Structure 1
């Protein structure tokens, strides 16, 4: 860790790492969400049907769930500097593929592969945790997440204008291609300007790359249980593409996907057993234990807060348009207030967590989230528009501050596994989005908001079982020496 003062306006030392990392995250989201603002132009140029457009939107997020887990493991093993740079460079390729696509099949393959860049978030979580002490970590992770997450809003604000500036029916191709160029160039900028740790610090790596380590028999089975929703979410996406959903894939192909997911889960069970089988024959020393229940609680909380954010951002313009009879442009601007809160809310959640305690902050913010969505469920056309917007922004504060507070805890559980823990927690956010959007396809807007509020109450209950990070955690360097890391 470095001892320099936290100064957001500096661009040296740890602050340089923070700024370059949120920029990398910003670019990854700019690329990941470059399709939605240009959707209509892409639809017309490629002659796509509405069902095909829906399929592209689904494919855009399908790979992100497993990708966040995989990228988290690679980050812990090879370091965030290499992995972030490689991700930005490699994912520019499917971005260019999409820009040059001239058929639905080509566009579908490109969007599916671009789901991988959505995993970039977890890399910076590990990088920032290496450079900032525990008392600044929540604030730093909040800035990284909040400012980087704004890349999706930046895509919505700027890419349509860029497409118009290039002009013609292919303007969208140049706009999307430009995001690929930015990603490719910044990959080299990032690699040349960051290091995994401050000079003299040790980068702790996991013992195994194949699966997450646990330190007790109970945690072994809890880990396997917590893996199930991630496979279920991918199965749900497959169902959406089946004849029962948008009818893009045949039932035979969808059934094959179900079988494949079941086989992959069994393979993961085997890998988890291989990595952790020693805990069934001998106990892990107390010094090196950690409670996986901490990870499970954070997964459930992120399922609710980030999952609801992704889902609500997708439907809020339509909600305001239909509820208050607004034209699409005005509805989009009004709904944008929800996403805009990310710039300050997520850093605020991390800062509050640093100052007033991790567990108490999460409990207050999760309770506020539940209340916020319950209020949104009451909104109808008889309400003043300004009041509905205020409630949406207030709800957004609790949602995004909660995200910042969750990732203020993630790096304090087990340093060498921060990437894996962040990957699993981040994946649960995508699982939540898939779940909530599926719920929305069956119910009205009020019920949708009430379901999220009820899920938040479940998260609030699980928080009872979370332990406030205290004291120190132990890590073993490659030479066998034990290092103690402060977490409070």
Structure 2
């Protein structure tokens, strides 16, 4: 089995080859997803867009990712990571090219909304890596996958403006974006030809029923319905931001239609949950096949606070440093980038700590640090030395990104055949958090914004007390009816 091989980070054989191909696929999705931000000014001037229209494009860029992560998680569990990741990279090159060729706001808006789909790539690799690494290495492997892949956004910020300058002229940004599309298309072929869903001889377990996440008790059925509500609420919040009350892209009647549509989709979603899980009301699920959905719910809340706050803070930190310390935009951007750079080591570090000291203890410590870190950020003002504010931001970033690594060190240990769906829902909660925090930021001062994030981290800490440390084994049924027991912790 692949799990018996040593963890050699510079190897490109066996499970390590899969890890490197996976994180690079994720890296490319983030380059494509965030190729807009560093070229924003060029796009604005080239297409003659208003500031309100630019803000709309930024919102549309993350809107579709919330439902997409859930949907892609289901597709991954059913069809396997190799096929789904390859298709995602290929399909999403299309809206990337469309955006590069856009002549007006409407074309750009449609392309940017569609590109939100590529943000769902993250959940595919979570399932793939979990198939190749044993439980005692899983946190480290998932942390490397998430941390190194996440760095794609920083790589886009550093390289794409230079690429645009090299091609020159007002169309330089178009060439830069088109190149990221070609990268995505090319790597879809590389990925498909070099990856398998599982090590040779291993079984890829699939959900028994498609259409909704399986639960194994009546209480979990109701908890699942409750945990779906914030995802729809976040989409409704985005619609509100596009209404006349917000930036005025949609009319009141259009927003009302969106609200009604979201309500109808939720009801359909709930009916699918009932269709897949109505058997739990007829007879109990055998204890061997049960899992506790509260584990998923806790991780959702924690990812809301960690990745949700990261997405929000990364987008506002340059402006925060510029306004607080009267720095130039370039200097402020460089200073703020220290927060994103922490991803390279912090997220793998959080996964490694989880492997070493346990999932729940690690999450408790990191979540407490997260609360303290954001509380300290709330204290930063112009009286602070800039270097001390940077250290505070980097310290906070360590707990944020280590916490993300620790969350996804636990996700694959809940129920193997549903890892894609669980990762999809937890990942979606990160985007829900980003939408929530960015909306709050538009209404309050910077210090209050940081204090609110610290408060949600405290809520996450309290929620975490209800989580159970993964232990023993989980059971999966083979095609022939036999049962395989999968280790999730040391015996």
Query: TM-score, structure 1 length as denominator?
Result: 1.00
Question: Within 1, Cα distance between the matches of 2:195 and 2:68?
Answer: 23
Where does 1:144-223 land on structure 2 (aligned, <5 Å)? 144-223=145-224
SS in 1 for 2:106: helix
SS in 2 for 1:475: strand
Kindly state the Cα deviation for residue 478 of structure 1 after the two structures are TM-superposed: 1.9
Kindly state the Cα deviation for residue 335 of structure 1 after the two structures are TM-superposed: 0.2
Question: Within 1, Cα distance between the matches of 2:479 and 2:120?
Answer: 28
SS in 2 for 1:485: strand
More deviation, 166-175/476-485: 476-485
1:337 pairs with 2:338: yes
Structure 1: where are the runs of 5+ without partners?
none
Cα deviation digits, residues 94-146 of structure 1 (max 9, x gap): 00000000010000000000000000000000000000000000000000000
Where does 1:74-89 land on structure 2 (aligned, <5 Å)? 74-89=75-90
Question: Within 2, Cα distance between the matches of 1:463 and 1:50?
Answer: 41
1:97 pairs with 2:98: yes
Kindly state the Cα deviation for residue 449 of structure 1 after the two structures are TM-superposed: 0.2
Question: Within 2, Cα distance between the matches of 1:480 and 1:82?
Answer: 26
Q: Which residue of the partner structure matches residue 264 of structure 1? A: 265
Kindly state the Cα deviation for residue 479 of structure 1 after the two structures are TM-superposed: 1.9
Question: Within 2, Cα distance between the matches of 1:168 and 1:383?
Answer: 41
Kindly state the Cα deviation for residue 208 of structure 1 after the two structures are TM-superposed: 1.5
Q: Which residue of the partner structure matches residue 237 of structure 2? A: 236
Kindly state the Cα deviation for residue 481 of structure 1 after the two structures are TM-superposed: 1.2
Where does 1:25-424 land on structure 2 (aligned, <5 Å)? 25-424=26-425
Where does 1:449-464 land on structure 2 (aligned, <5 Å)? 449-464=450-465
SS in 1 for 2:486: strand
Kindly state the Cα deviation for residue 404 of structure 1 after the two structures are TM-superposed: 0.1
Q: Which residue of the partner structure matches residue 447 of structure 1? A: 448
SS in 2 for 1:473: strand
Question: Within 2, Cα distance between the matches of 1:99 and 1:90?
Answer: 15
Question: Within 2, Cα distance between the matches of 1:345 and 1:451?
Answer: 23
SS in 2 for 1:204: coil
SS in 1 for 2:379: coil
Cα deviation digits, residues 442-484 of structure 1 (max 9, x gap): 0000000000000000000011110000010000112211100
Runs of at least 4 residues off by over 2 Å? none
Kindly state the Cα deviation for residue 242 of structure 1 after the two structures are TM-superposed: 0.0
Q: Which residue of the partner structure matches residue 436 of structure 1? A: 437
Cα deviation digits, residues 123-173 of structure 1 (max 9, x gap): 000000000000000000000000000000000000000000011110000
Question: Within 2, Cα distance between the matches of 1:219 and 1:436?
Answer: 28
Question: Within 1, Cα distance between the matches of 2:5 and 2:282?
Answer: 46
RMSD: 0.4
Number of residue equivalences: 488
Cα deviation digits, residues 210-259 of structure 1 (max 9, x gap): 00000000000000000000000000000000000001100000000000
Cα deviation digits, residues 326-382 of structure 1 (max 9, x gap): 000000000000000000000000000000010000000000000000000000000
Question: Within 2, Cα distance between the matches of 1:361 and 1:93?
Answer: 41
Kindly state the Cα deviation for residue 421 of structure 1 after the two structures are TM-superposed: 0.1
Structure 2: where are the runs of 5+ without partners?
none
Q: Which residue of the partner structure matches residue 473 of structure 2? A: 472
